[in-house]
Amino acid sequence: MFKIPPLAITLIKAIIHLASLSTLLYFYILIDSNRLGADPVKEMIHFLGKTGLNYLLITLAITPLAKRFKQPLLIRLRRVLGLYSFVWICLHLTAFIWLELNWQVGLLIEEIIKRPYLTLGMAAWSILLLLSITSINAIRKRMKKAWFTLHRWVYVALVLGIVHYYWSVKSGLIEPSIYIGLSLLLLNERRQYFKSLYHSLFKKP
Ligand code: HEM
């Protein structure tokens, strides 16, 4: 059976970098030419949040695709995609703190406590922060098996991120519902893992 060669993986990584930087440039051009509509700040926060979520979903699609099509080298794309997801979410958070709160950290803490959808978003961001730091090779090697356990927390980040999105939306529930459907599909691909986790947590002799 055809196997994707290592050189193709390097090429795909280069395409991921190019696509990400082009999206950032496109976003900058939209801002610079005042083409973000009547409420540009909201539009910026939405664009960055959704892009981060898209990258997170693509990252989580890699393992099922690699297994289904027997292409183990695809796994090498997870790190770069996951890190880009974190970068977009950091920009999403920065846009909120900068443009909505004018860098008032006290107000940010107040908002996070007051609005549950922000509490969930912040919790998801904290998990992605931890996963990004521990994706550094030296740390990963030191963590040994614990690394795999920790990185399963990406499922929690996905669920928190999706609920945060659904909760933040004031009208038009079709799009967030599609995102929920896609997330459930990706989590369903891990049902074996969830079953064994359930057994180890609740069915111990
Ligand atoms: C993994 C973490 C996160 C994900 C995946 C995420 C994703 C999203 C998405 C997809 C939207 C809706 C975009 C739309 O309606 O088109 C959104 C809205 C929003 N998010 Fe996040 N977000 C995350 C974390 C955060 C954090 C940490 C904050 C700030 C503390 C935040 C603040 C907001 C705000 C203010 C909105 C707009 C709500 C409104 O329209 O009034 N998000 N987020």
The answer to the question of residue 190 being in a domain is yes
Closest protein CA for atom 27 of ligand 1: 122
Pocket test for ligand 1, best of 46, 93, 160, 168 (most atoms within 8 A of CB): 168
pLDDT of residue 25: 97
Query: Is the CB–ligand 1 distance for residue 91 below 6 Å?
Result: no
Residue 1 lies in a domain: no
122 lines ligand 1 (CB under 6 A): yes
pLDDT confidence bin for 205, thresholds 50/70/90: low
Give domain status of residue 62, yes or no: yes
Q: Is the Cβ atom of 49 under 6 angstroms away from ligand 1?
A: yes
**pLDDT per position as a tens digit, 160-199:** 999 999 999 988 889 999 999 999 999 999 999 999 999 9
Confidence category of residue 203, pLDDT binned at 50, 70, 90:
confident
- Helix, strand, coil share (%) of the chain residues, nearest 5: 80, 0, 20
pLDDT at 71: 97
Ligand 1 centroid, distance to 132 Cα (angstroms) = 19
* 115 pLDDT more than 70: yes
Number of domains in the chain: 1
Average pLDDT value over all residues in the chain: 96
Q: Is residue 170 part of a domain?
A: yes
Residue 154 above 80 pLDDT?
A: yes
Digit-coded pLDDT (tens) for 1-55: 789 999 999 999 999 999 999 999 999 999 999 999 899 999 999 999 999 999 9
> Half-sphere exposure (CA, 13 Å, Cβ side) for 101?
17
Residue 204 — pLDDT band, cuts 50, 70, 90?
A: low
Residues 143 and 107 sit within 8 Å (Cβ to Cβ): no
**154 belongs to a structural domain:** yes
User: Would you state the torsion angle of the CA atoms of residues 6, 7, 11, 16, taken in this order, to the nearest 10 degrees?
Assistant: 10
Q: Kindly state whether residue 137 falls inside one of the protein's structural domains.
A: yes
Determine the Cα–Cα distance for residues 165 and 174; give it in Å rounded to an integer.
12
Contact 179 CB / ligand 1 (< 6 Å): no
The CB of 48 under 6 Å from ligand 1? The reply is no
Which residue segment(s) compose the domain that 68 sits in?
6-202
